[in-house]
Homo-oligomer: A and B are copies of this chain.
């Protein structure tokens, strides 16, 4: 007998392969209408930043939410790839020496290590730009208002008032802008808001985009938003716990770096045990949000459990 966890793992893997294949096609060297040519070095840097790794969790959440709302799987896959381009751009820029200064990502050298800072900046820029191109394409949805809702939602989840803003708050939380060098003390509410922006916004968007694509009614959308918010918050706490507990070999990036920098995490603010309890509480909240759905939502339920229990 095949359990929900096995189905989930198989689905996550299959979606990951489909996303990879689609990103590979989106990042080939054929110039599209409106493009002049695709310069080889920049394209290679973009491919390094986007291909060959990652769980593709955001596309998976988008696709499974879309499926729950009756949207076309092919359209959801393309929208998921557009979303993943935004996630990949953010990793390329966050890894830069001027930002988090990481040399390793998914066990491989980061884009700026393989190329240089300039090419990494441009590769991130171009991945972000391509995301909006892809999300606007007719294959996403026949109704143009649906595509525009997706585009605006993506922009707001990832920009000043979302992911980029969260990264800015995170840099401030390090204390790098405190002229007297005294450590910054963030309140629990500050940390929650920072994390809701930095990682939460894009995970929430993944789930909401599924509802937009499936033209879900308001009840479903409200449920998906509650689920997405809880899952997004739980993800970041789980990540921070992992960062404290894991070693470099398991994680594929330099472990303990976030703690070294004195960043504001709930692990630091509340302690490890309380952070774990909060992570588990959020996972329950995510499951409760799906209570009006039947077994159709089992994959999203398993995803919530996976997010809090993953080892890497």
Asked whether, in the complex, the Cβ of B124 is within 8 Å of the Cβ of A168, the reply is no
Asked whether, in the complex, the Cβ of B162 is within 8 Å of the Cβ of A35, the reply is yes
Q: Give the number of copies in the complex.
A: 2
Asked whether, in the complex, the Cβ of A38 is within 8 Å of the Cβ of B161, the reply is yes
Interface flags for A110-149 (1: CB within 8 Å of B; 0: not) read: 0000001111011011101110110011000000110110
The CA-CA distance from A98 to B36 in the complex, in Å, is 25
Which residues from chain B contact A177 at a C-beta distance below 8 Å?
Answer: 41
Which residues from chain B contact A35 at a C-beta distance below 8 Å?
Answer: 156, 159-162, 165
Asked whether, in the complex, the Cβ of B39 is within 8 Å of the Cβ of A169, the reply is yes
- A165-B93 in contact given A128-B125, A144-B144, A159-B130 (Cβ < 8 Å): no
The CA-CA distance from A152 to B138 in the complex, in Å, is 11
Which residues from chain B contact A99 at a C-beta distance below 8 Å?
Answer: 118, 121
Interface flags for A209-220 (1: CB within 8 Å of B; 0: not) read: 000000000000
Identify which of A26-34, A65-73, A180-188, A260-268 touches chain B.
A26-34
Interchain residue pairs A-B with the least CB separation, the first 5 = A35-B161, A34-B156, A129-B159, A98-B117, A133-B155
